[in-house]
Structures are given as structure tokens and as C-alpha cells.
Amino acid sequence: MRKIPPVDLARQYAKIESEANQAVLEVLSSGRYINGPVVTQFEQEFSDYLNVLYTVSCGSGTAALYLALRALKIGPGDEVITSPFTFIATAEVITLTGATPVFIDIQAETFNLNPELLEAAITPRTRAIIPVHLYGQAVDMGRVMEIAERYKLYVIEDCAQATGAKWQGRKVGSFGDIGCFSFFPTKNLGGCGDGGAITTNNVSLAQTVKMLKEHGSNKRYSHEETGVNSRLDAVQAAILRIKLKYLDSYNQERYNIAQLYENLLSHLPGVILPKDHSSSGHVWNQYTVRVKDGLREELKTQLDLKGITSMVYYPIPLHLQPVYKKLGYLKDQLPIVEGVASEVLSLPMFPGLLPEEQKQIAYAVQESLDYSEILLS
Ligand SMILES: Cc1ncc(COP(=O)(O)O)c(C=O)c1O
């Protein structure tokens, strides 16, 4: 029986090996490792891909979110509304600026924050909303932008898991004041190390992020603000330039994999399959099912025993994390996300996953659920 990992990056690399090696070698022999032409070219190509005016690259998706908040001058006394169902980075950076994250409940069907709950969470201190396009599916950006405009709030899109995703035909990262991207290797557009970028149509925000990421400096050894050191290195930019050319085909492959999962698993009563609610804009960074009747852990264990590694993103919603105990959220306060967090299971999903492997996974899921049900009865 073949082992199946949640992600296999080596398969993707194998297909672009000679192109990627050559691009990396060119950077190595150029002697320009930080900033320089390759980074600038990547930024321009990324802007063109998303149809935005400016991309400013940086060291990670976390840094992109932090720089975005800093550029919008969000800090102590401010509140930022976001989803409790995301990677810690989304909220961590709010706290790092001195502002307070405010979590609202999600929609079980999309896993994204429920825009209908935004208005009730807005206070005189609210400055911004961070919608997170989780698992590759866009938040309802029509609704988010309408509310943000009405209340004069900034919107920072967390696009870390959704490069290339669309809301009604328009790419995420082009709706809000700033879009934030991660190029962590497992993302839809992933490098061979850490990397990130912000996107915007506002020249002054682009300039401010550029200044902040270079130690708060526009001019060498003159520092206007307390900044950070956060740069995309030229080797990563060279690899990302190549992968960007293939991003739409990678996302198409992810879509095909999701379709096959749907065909293979839709007859199983014990699992709820993910659906695309964004008018065909889902880019399937994850294929995440919901396992009913408290059987998630049992299913995961059974799959492990069969050599199939599935993942739980995320077992504890952020409002219940120890680090946010101080915010005073109570158990059951955000009931949808708390239920969903106990049900989600992400099955292997990556370009290069083979149909026969998906059949092996589907068979194992069915067998494991049958077994669990026998145990329960
Ligand atoms: C939703 C979300 N936001 C932000 C990040 C942070 O990105 P990075 O790991 O590049 O710092 C991630 C990465 O996993 C993420 O999934």
C-alpha cells in the first residue's frame, strides 16, 4: 500500500526542475541576492496577474499582514474584526500592533467569516476588517466592502491560502485597501522557503509598506519610523516567477482533484463535502470535509493506519486559544466555529496527486467510517 502525504512538493518541483535550477543558478551567479531586478520583475508580474497597481514583496505572509496594519496606522486602542477560524498569524499581527482582535462567527458552509455578523461587532474603536479567504475560497467580498464603506473601515484581505481565487470573477487581493499573500511552500503559489507580499492600488500605502519593511527607511541610514527587516530574497523571487506562469494550471489541477473527490465521496452519509460558493472562484488550497457524529478523530486515526495523512486545520478556534484568554470569550460564544473545528478534516490535496491515490483515499475513508459506525453501534 502506497503512503500518501497531505502535500508532496517534490512532485511539483520535478516538473519544473530544469527551469527552476537554471533560474536559481542565474541568481547565484549574478551576485544580487537581496532586492534587485528579479524581485522587481516578480512584483510587476504578480501585480499584472492580480490586476492591481502595486505589489510590495516581503519576508512572509505574517509580515505582509503586520506591515499592512502598520501602514494603515492601526495600533493601541483600535479594534480589528476577523475570523476565529484561521491560522494564528492573522490575529497575532493585530495583537503585535497593540490593537485588539474581535472575532465573529463563521458560516459552516464556506468556513469563512459570516459577513452578516459584521455590523453587530462594529464599535467606535473598530478600524478595520480582515476577511480570510480560507482553504482557497473567497469571502463574500461584495458584502464585506459594502459594510466597510458604510462604516469607513479599512479592509485587509488575508489571501495567504487563496492566490488566484476569485469572488464573482475578480481576484482576491484586489478588493480591499491591501491584500496580503504568503508564498510559504504549501500555498497555491509557494516558493522554496518563506516569502510574502502585499498588493494595493494605493501608491502611498505601497510606499509606506516599502519603507516599513526596510527598517522604516526611504533613504539609506535615515529612519522615519520603527520598521522591520522583511524582504523576499532573489532566489525565492526567481522560483516564484516560474511558478506564477503555471499558477492557473496548478489551480485547475486542484479543481479537478476536488471534482474527483466529490464524485468519489458524495455517496457517504457521514461526511459533508466542501462546496464552491464563490461563483467558480475556489482554488482549493485544501479539500476539507466535515465528519459528523464525533467521528473525526477516529477517521483520522484509521487513515493514518492505512498510510494516509490527513490534517486538522484548525482544531482550536482563535477565540479559545490560551493566548487570547485575556479577551474574555466564553466557550459556546461562537457556536458555529466551535462545532466546525471539531468536525474538519483536510484530505491530501496538491498538484500531482494521482487519481488512483484519490481512489485509495476514498476507499479508506469509506472503510474507516463503516468501521467507526460498527464500533459506535
Ligand atoms: C490564513 C493565513 N494567514 C497568514 C499566514 C501566514 O503566512 P506565512 O506562513 O507566510 O507567514 C498563513 C500561513 O499559513 C495562513 O494560512
Q: How confident is residue 375, by pLDDT bands cut at 50, 70 and 90? A: low
Cα 205 to Cα 182: distance, rounded to the nearest angstrom: 19
Residues 6+ apart with CB under 8 A from 309: 3, 4, 5, 6, 303, 348
- Report all structural domains of the chain as residue ranges with CATH numbers, in order of start: 9-241 (3.40.640.10), 247-376 (3.90.1150.10)
CA-186 nearest atom, ligand 1: 14
Per-residue pLDDT of 226-250, as tens digits, reads 999 999 999 999 999 999 999 999 9
Q: Is 160 in the pocket of ligand 1 (CB under 6 A)?
A: yes
Query: What average pLDDT does the segment 132-155 reach?
Result: 98
Q: Per-residue pLDDT for 374 more than 70?
A: no
CA-86 nearest atom, ligand 1: 1
Q: How far is the CA of 133 from the centre of ligand 1 (A)?
A: 11
Query: What average pLDDT does the segment 312-341 reach?
Result: 97
Beta bridge partners of 156: 178
Query: What average pLDDT does the segment 186-193 reach?
Result: 97
Of residues 370 and 131, more confidently modeled: 131
Q: How many CA atoms lie within 13 A of 81 on its CB side?
A: 28
Residues 6+ apart with CB under 8 A from 368: 298, 299, 302, 303, 306
Task: Please give the mean pLDDT across all residues of the chain.
Answer: 96
Report the percent of the chain where pLDDT is more than 90: 94
Q: Is 156 in the pocket of ligand 1 (CB under 6 A)?
A: no
Q: How confident is residue 326, by pLDDT bands cut at 50, 70 and 90? A: very high
Per-residue pLDDT of 66-115, as tens digits, reads 999 999 999 999 999 999 999 999 999 999 999 999 999 999 999 999 99
Q: Is 157 in the pocket of ligand 1 (CB under 6 A)?
A: no
Q: Is 135 in the pocket of ligand 1 (CB under 6 A)?
A: no
Q: Is 132 in the pocket of ligand 1 (CB under 6 A)?
A: yes
Q: Is 131 in the pocket of ligand 1 (CB under 6 A)?
A: no
Instruction: Determine the pLDDT at residue 237.
Output: 98
User: Which of 62, 156, 189, 240 has the most ligand 1 atoms within 8 A of CB, as the residue to mutate?
Assistant: 62
